Amino acid sequence: MFKHKTIYILIIGGLLLFLSACNSNSKVVVEDEPEDTVIDNEEKPEEQPVEVEEKFVLPTEELQKGDKGEDVQTLQEGLIKIGYQISNSGTYSAETVWAVTDLQLQSEKLLVTGIYDKKTRLTIESYLDKDKTITPGEGLPFKKDEKLDEETVIISNPYEILALINKQNALPKDFKPSDLVVPDVRFPFVEDLPKKQMRKVAADALEKLFAAADLESLDLFAQSGFRSYERQDYLFASYVSNHGEQEANTFSAKPGESEHQSGLTMDVTSPHVNYGLVVEFGDTEEGIWLKEHAAEYGFIIRYPEGKEDITLYQYEPWHLRYVGVKAATEIMERGITLEEYLEELSN
């Protein structure tokens, strides 16, 4: 018994000695930092944010000759970016009209007007997105109005729908619009004559005007549209022969001075006046309706009654001239002429 206790004591003592030795050897050793280690407690400078260039955005509003402001300046900047060397003045000037017209002539998808619209904006954006430039003047070479004589100038941009064509402002002798088409409207004759033609932008508008007139059960007929310089020369000479030049000049234009050569004009009539182009047409249902609604489709009565001293032509209720809805609305609502409208724009 004593012997067994002794053994137990020895075993327990040995265990205690073993545990004590383990504890004495389990020290945590922390190595010194290397001498060449440098701790930098200084704050690092903040990284500067990378500036993202803001995308160039063209105006969404329609713009035309005479308009002024930031939108016009932005449009001019866009035109400059794609290759046009024009001034960034903030005024929709003649050179801006030229640049827009030239761009439109170089694109098969655009109507040629000289007016900045949605489709023109998309075309400029396409050039900008693809980082492309245009060849200025390839559609319409740039030049200034030229003097024909002391009283008359030859206009440099015959494609502009706000072009003033009268006894002081003539079209180039060789001008024939490249976008002439035959509008799908009624004519009192079946022959396929050039006078059925109009420029595409005006023809499209005339079709809408006739469709609206049809809804009112009106009998409108198109009588005479495009007329070449040579044809006008023949007609004017004939009128002079029959009436004398002074009288002929009150109802017929000299060659180059006729709006018919622009392709933006259509003389209209009705069976109520035997399809004639006479003053009495203004008193017909068709004539009255045109005076009230033509502007909704971009047309004006170009030679209104009581304005003969300004237009220098007799009253012609049948003579429709396309100028676009914006200009037509103001001209017809205010009872002014194209001459007066453009004069105000230039001031």
- Residue 336 pLDDT: 98
pLDDT tens digit string along 25-54? 444 444 444 445 444 555 666 666 666 667
Q: Is 316 a catalytic residue?
A: yes
* Chain position carrying tokens 């001293």: 309
Tell me whether residue 32 is in a domain. no
The strand pairing partners of 63, in sequence order, are 116
**Domain check: are 206 and 311 in the same one?**
yes
Q: Model pTM? A: 0.83
Helix (H, G, I), strand (E, B) or coil at 239: helix
Tell me whether residue 15 is in a domain. no
Q: How far apart are CA 45 and CA 164, in angstroms?
A: 65
- Residue 31 pLDDT: 46
Q: How many domains, in total, are found in the chain?
A: 2
| Domain membership of residue 214 as a residue range | 176-346
Q: How far apart are CA 207 and CA 186, in angstroms?
A: 10
The catalytic position among 46, 77, 316, 343 is 316
Tell me whether residue 151 is in a domain. no
Tell me whether residue 31 is in a domain. no
**Domain check: are 231 and 308 in the same one?**
yes
Q: Token pair for residue 252?
A: 């017929």
Q: Token pair for residue 105?
A: 């002539």
User: Other C-beta atoms within 10 Å of 134: how many?
Assistant: 19
- Residue 346 pLDDT: 84
In order along the chain (347 residues), what is the average pLDDT of each group of 10 residues? 48 51 46 48 62 82 96 98 96 96 95 97 96 96 87 95 96 95 97 97 98 98 97 89 83 90 98 97 98 98 97 96 97 98 91
One-letter amino acid for residue 338 of the chain: L
pLDDT tens digit string along 131-166? 999 999 999 999 888 888 888 999 999 999 999 999
Q: How far apart are CA 16 and CA 198, in angstroms?
A: 119
187 — phi, psi (to 5°)? Answer: -125, 150
**Domain check: are 219 and 81 in the same one?**
no
Tell me whether residue 24 is in a domain. no
Burial class (CB in 10 A: 0-12, 13-18, 19+), 289: middle
**Domain check: are 118 and 205 in the same one?**
no
Q: What is the DSSP letter of 156?
A: S
CATH number of the structural domain spanning residue 289? 3.30.1380.10
Helix or strand holding residue 344 (H, E): helix 338-346
Q: Token pair for residue 257?
A: 């001075």
Cα-trace Rg, the chain: 41
- Residue 28 pLDDT: 42
Tell me whether residue 26 is in a domain. no
**Domain check: are 126 and 185 in the same one?**
no
Q: How far apart are CA 331 and CA 321, in angstroms?
A: 12
Which is it for the CA torsion 47, 48, 50, 52, positive or negative?
A: positive
